[in-house]
Chain A
Amino acid sequence: MLAKLRFNNVVGKKIVMAITGLAMCIFLVGHLVGNLLLIWGKDKFNAYGSFLISLPIVPIIELGLLAILLFHVWDALVLLKGNYEARPIPYHSKTWGRTKSKKSKKTWASTFMMTSGIIILLFIVFHVWHFKYHNPVASRPVGDGHNSSIVLFPGQPTVGQTTSGQNSGKEAFDLAQLVVNELSNPIVAGIYILCMITLALHLYHAVSSAFTSLGANHPRYQKGLMWFGNIFTFVVCGGFTLIPLLIVLKVVQ
């Protein structure tokens, strides 16, 4: 059956990009809702974190997300190569068709999709290393996360404290504290905020574009889809920006 589905051309690959892109957008919503718990309370956030870790399905979802991301990036690169080869001789001078008619939706965001995409990719690698694998860059470690009830830095007892599970083999980790410690550093917070702005640029074009690629666009829906994309981008990227912003402004401590 799947062999008969033809995704191996420019139209099929964009359909794959749209499905994977929108799947990542759905993930972003879930991730955002979870993260906003940090603003509500560190214990709420940690409880949510240890709940997630206790679910056996989570590693499967993680692998699925990784596959989705890789498909998205792979197709983006293959299409980029094809697009590059589709015009071997460049124009002597070329301007945006948008100068001629406002019907064009070309923006700086749509022009630099690959650039914003690669920044997001680098950010994802850094972010997972940083918070999933607990590698502080701007503050001291908060325990080692595994089997550790040892307070590493006696000077700051609260920081090193693990919160539960004596014999479980794995200690619940004070992730909330790590996040707050790290994002209190203006440089780290700045990196996160800049990356969220980059994501916003990507999604500003990507969300409505994905619906067009999926075939869901029609003259009647066009305006609505643009609005949906803009509002989605604003809410999601704004929401994510709030976390480092409130921490670096010491509203959340």
Chain B
Amino acid sequence: MSASNGTKKNMNLKLLVWRQSGGKDKGKMTTYQANDISPDMSFLEMLDVVNENIIRDGGEPIAFEHDCREGICGSCGVMINGVAHGPDEGTAACQLHMRSFNDGDEIVIEPWRARAFPVIRDLVVDRSALDRIIAAGGYISVNTGNAPDGNAIPIPKEMSNDAMDSAACIGCGACIAQCKNASAALFTSAKIAHLALLPQGDPERGERVIRMVAQMDAEKFGSCSNEGECEAVCPKEIQMTNISLMNREYERAILANKK
């Protein structure tokens, strides 16, 4: 990967980027040259440099989404050489560094592709389908008021570990982008798991999984083939066994369904 002695020289790269001016536009792959790129730049900084040049030449910069640039917000996310978030394990595109590439490389950059993720512009897709899945049940109902005592509800350590691991999902959509079926199983299951595992989420467990699965279905995501490609590209390393937990929750809910 990185040149350990830190002497890797600046590089020249060829980019093949998806350009699409809007939802109606058909879009096409366009070639750009990215010259004199420092290996210490992040992937998004490299795109910034390319955009500076495009602007200087009077063109429209490449639109891409980003916010925190430290791998915690889930805004960024593009297919880099056919893999969601690029080649580094457990890394969001903003945390990917150019030292993972070599001088003269050609880099293909595409937006997430799914029917539920229509392209807004260039590399930016509309991920509100994920918000609607959350809105369908990814919450707990509590009365507002004073903050409850942090230790009022005892939670076994293993449970809280598992719940926190699932809660690490930043909703970037890489799992869906990588899945051959464009299935949202990993995302939805992580959101179900982190609530179902905790006592606060327990009362609404059954309804939650039924509603969220129904919404996932309604958004026309595909089905899970249990390949685990999602887990491989997840910047937060959410485990595929969450999906099994979702299936288990679903079975429990439909068997106990009294309505």
Interfacial residues, chain A to chain B (CB-CB below 8 A):
4-6, 9-15, 79, 82-83, 85-106, 110-111, 113, 205, 208-209, 211-219, 222
Contact = CB atoms under 8 A, between A and B. Distances in A.
A218 B230 CA distance: 16
Interface string B160-179: 00000000000000000010
Given A91-B113, A214-B247, A103 B228 contact: yes
A120 B213 CA distance: 31
Interface in B156-209: 178, 180-183, 185
B248 to A, nearest CB: 3
Contacts of A88: 115
A87 B227 contact: no
Contact of B113 (A9, A90, A105, A211): A90
Contact of B231 (A91, A96, A101, A214): A101
B83 A105 contact: no
B254 A5 contact: yes
A214 B252 CA distance: 11
Interface of B: 16, 18, 29, 79, 81-84, 86-90, 108, 110, 113-116, 178, 180-183, 185, 210, 213-214, 216-217, 220-233, 237, 239-241, 243-251, 254-255, 257, 259
A10 B82 contact: no
B170 to A, nearest CB: 17
A218 to B, nearest CB: 6
B259 A14 contact: no
B229 A89 contact: no
A219 B233 contact: no
Q: SS class of chain B's interface: helix, strand, loop or mixed?
A: mixed
Nearest to A210: B226
Nearest to B221: A86
B16 to A, nearest CB: 7
Given A83-B223, A100-B88, A92 B246 contact: no
Nearest to A206: B226
Contact of B239 (A11, A83, A93, A219): A219
B217 A212 contact: no
A97 B114 contact: no
Contacts of A213: 224, 226, 244, 247
A216 B223 CA distance: 18
Contact of B232 (A90, A91, A101, A111): A101
Contacts of B81: 93, 95
A86 B232 contact: no
A115 to B, nearest CB: 13
A6 B222 CA distance: 17
Contact of A14 (B180, B210, B221, B224): B224
Contacts of B245: 215, 218
Contact of A10 (B223, B226, B227, B232): B223
A10 B221 contact: yes
B229 A87 contact: no
21 contacts: A4-B254, A6-B254, A11-B216, A11-B246, A82-B220, A83-B222, A86-B116, A86-B183, A92-B16, A95-B82, A96-B229, A100-B86, A100-B89, A103-B237, A104-B232, A106-B229, A209-B225, A211-B244, A212-B243, A216-B248, A218-B245
Contact of B79 (A4, A91, A98, A218): A91
B253 to A, nearest CB: 9
B251 A10 contact: no
B217 A9 contact: yes
Given A9-B213, A86-B181, A87-B113, A104 B231 contact: yes
A93 B178 CA distance: 12
B18 A83 contact: no
